[in-house]
Amino acid sequence: SSSPPPRGPRAVGASPTANMQSLGRLPEFPERQLGYQVEHFALHKVVGEGAWGKVCLASPRFDLPGVGAGRGYCAIKMMKRADLDEHEMTERARTEREIMEGLPAHPFVIRLYAAFEDAERLYFAMEYCLGGDLFYHLDLRKSFPEPTVRFYCAQLALALGHLHAHGVCYRDLKTENLMLDARGYLKVIDFGLSKPGVHSATAGAKTVCGTPSYLAPETLMRKGYGHAADWWALGILAFELRVGLPPWHEEADDKRRLFRHICLEPVKLPLEVDVSLTFRTFLAAILKKNPAQRLGARGAAEVQAHKLFAGVPWDRLRAAALPAPITPKLDPLDLTCNFPEEFTRIPVRSEDRVSTPGGSMVLNGEVVENMFRDKLANLQESRRNSEVFKSDNSLLKSTFGLSFQDSDRAPSPPPPTRQSTTTGHGGGGGGAEADAAA
């Protein structure tokens, strides 16, 4: 059975102020060679579940060198090795770990503390963000006012700029992959679909992957794509945060119609939603169908220079010195109070389960982590569940009349033998061998 979260001043700080400063921060891990095992941590509650396993709130159980006992918290993502192997996701998990280990620290990108494994599972120990994900807060409020949208988009402009500067195309921006820390600032999580080695706005990746509502036109048209696809996703996210639903949400059940709209139809704001002219021009610029003409195609600085962000004190934003529009609840007796009960009531030791229909996916015969969550009933339907399946080419072929034989994976030589690997926080994606061959 799971142990209850540590209580009292020793675990969470002697005062609310100390608590706010320390929650979600785990002291620096010692060198990975020390050989962490899951037994070194107390697993308190489940805070997330996906196709390959679950994520738990955890704390060091023993007095580990450089860590101590009960001195901090982390999120441990646990992925079942058999499921990863069965669905050909082990290489994607390895790529996720390599990306997280290789990225320099950034205030708006989640930190990986350690990656380890045992005979049954792969584990990532990461920063714990006690504020929950942005989907949870959007669900509570239905939509955000424009200043709040600007606050979050400004952070994402910096985070995406950081990823792109280090050759990473993120490929799965959505509210579920954005966590709030104790101060109410964003952290980008889940690099399972990310692709390293991309240094262009319009080229470097081919695989159709991500969450359907956020896919860029060039991704669907199989012309090759690059960092501009992430800026398109930021535009879709900005629309969703302001309106409460993504564009063409009524087509969520019919992916053929949804994909046609993405590629051929303009994005239209609902008449009843009050937005400024500046916000409209931002959406028009960042949602251009042509990636070479899209806002951000010339780099993150171009996005930051848009009038929507006029007056943003970027240095203070990076330092988290601005008041956040949403301050997460802080309960020293319940460090998971900002996570939905559908997760927190799952027993920590319950058998990992592969859940059903969901949203992040890889098309063209690739394995799909489909976490597509229907939002048709004012965000009441949860999109958090996942389905793992293989897709044939018929969906995109019948939608656009095109042939889709290429992907990030090299077509000619047989795939190399997959090796077991150590993985981390967030969800499967981004295959190392496939992307390296592209």
* Burial category of 315 from C-beta neighbours within 10 Å (exposed 0-12, middle 13-18, buried 19 and up): exposed
Report the chain's terminal Cα–Cα distance, integer Å: 45
Six-digit token string for 97: 């770990």
* ∠ CA 209-90-355, rounded to 5°: 65
pLDDT at 252: 79
pLDDT at 397: 53
Are the CB atoms for 297 and 228 separated by under 8 Å?
A: yes
Averaged over successive runs of 10 residues, the pLDDT of the chain (438 residues) comes to: 36 30 41 66 90 86 52 86 84 92 96 89 92 96 97 98 98 96 96 96 94 95 94 98 94 89 95 95 98 98 98 98 95 91 87 50 40 34 31 48 40 30 35 33
Cα of 101 vs its chain's centroid, Å: 16
- Sequence spans of domains, the chain: 38-127, 133-328+359-375
The highest-level CATH class for domain 133-328+359-375 is mainly alpha
The Cα 198–Cα 141 span in angstroms is: 36
What sign has the CA pseudo-torsion 45, 112, 208, 408?
Answer: negative
Task: Report the CATH architecture of 38-127.
Answer: 2-Layer Sandwich (3.30)
pLDDT at 338: 94
pLDDT at 396: 53
pLDDT at 39: 86
Are the CB atoms for 189 and 179 separated by under 8 Å?
A: yes
Beta strands in 147-214 (DSSP E): 178-180, 186-188, 209-210
User: How are strands ordered across the β-sheet holding 74-80?
Assistant: 41-49, 53-60, 74-80, 121-127, 112-117
pLDDT at 352: 55
The Cα 393–Cα 383 span in angstroms is: 24
Spell out a b/e string for 320-347, using b for 16 or more CB atoms within 10 Å of the CB, else e: eebebebebebebeebbebbbeebbebe
Cα of 406 vs its chain's centroid, Å: 25
Global pTM reads 0.78
Closest CA to 100 of 88, 110, 90: 110
Question: Is 54 assigned a ligand-binding role in the annotation?
Answer: no
Catalytic center residues = 172
Cα→Cα distances 275→150, 240, 311, Å: 12, 13, 18
